[in-house]
Each structure stands twice: as structure tokens, then as C-alpha cells.
């Protein structure tokens, strides 16, 4: 396998850009959360790529960081989707522009 490191980084940057565009553009709160998950995953891919191409892969730092990051992402998704469901119950809508109670 002789793929250069930069190709993995470009792959990850593409995923980050797609997730960012989705999180900014879409109005459904669930898809905003999916976009954020895609951005988190792009960062994880960078960690794994740098760990694999780095000088000390036996130190396992990249792998450990990604494992903890996956756990935190799972918690974030659970709480975020629970919030979406709670807001839907009150507003009868899960669109982000319905959530304007705090707007001045």
C-alpha cells in the first residue's frame, strides 16, 4: 500500500466540507446533527491517518483518541436526537428555524 498521506487528508477534508455544508444549509435538525457527525468522523480519519503514517505507531495515541472520540460522539448523538424529539413534541416541527424562542 503506497497511498500518500495527503490523499487521506484530502478525503477527510472533502468529508468535512460536505458535513459542514449540510449542517449549514439543511433545515432539518436531524440532518444538521448528521452533518456534525460527518465532520467528527473526518477528524477521526485524520487522527488514524496521522497515527498510521507517523514515526511511532506503537504508541497507539491516535487509536486511543479515536476510540474515546467515538464514545463521546455516541453520547452527543443520543442527547442531540433526544433534544430534537423533545422540541418536536412542543413545536410539532423538527426544523431549525422553528427554534426561535430565544430570538430577541
Chain positions 26 to 65 lying near other proteins, rule: CB under 8 A, are: 26-28, 30-31, 33-35, 37-38, 41, 44-45, 48-49, 51-53, 55, 57-58, 60, 62-64
Total number of residues shown for the chain: 104
CA distances from 32 to 16, 37, 39, 52 (A): 13, 9, 11, 31
Considering the complex, what minimum distance in angstroms separates the CB of residue 77 from other proteins? 5
Q: How many residues bind other proteins (CB under 8 A)?
A: 74
DSSP state of 101: T
Instruction: Enumerate the β-bridge partners of residue 11.
Output: none
Considering the complex, what minimum distance in angstroms separates the CB of residue 103 from other proteins? 15
DSSP state of 44: H
Is residue 88 a contact point for other proteins (CB under 8 A)? yes
Amino acid at each position: 500500500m503506497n497511498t500518500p498521506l495527503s490523499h487521506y487528508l484530502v478525503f477527510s477534508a472533502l468529508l468535512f466540507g460536505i458535513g459542514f455544508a449540510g449542517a449549514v444549509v439543511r433545515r432539518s435538525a436531524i440532518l444538521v446533527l448528521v452533518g456534525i457527525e460527518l465532520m467528527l468522523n473526518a477528524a477521526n480519519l485524520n487522527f488514524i491517518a496521522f497515527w498510521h503514517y507517523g514515526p511511532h505507531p506503537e504508541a497507539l495515541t491516535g487509536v486511543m483518541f479515536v476510540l474515546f472520540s467515538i464514545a463521546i460522539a455516541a453520547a452527543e448523538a443520543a442527547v442531540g436526537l433526544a433534544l430534537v424529539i423533545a422540541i418536536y413534541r412542543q413545536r410539532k416541527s423538527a426544523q431549525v428555524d422553528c427554534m426561535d424562542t430565544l430570538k430577541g
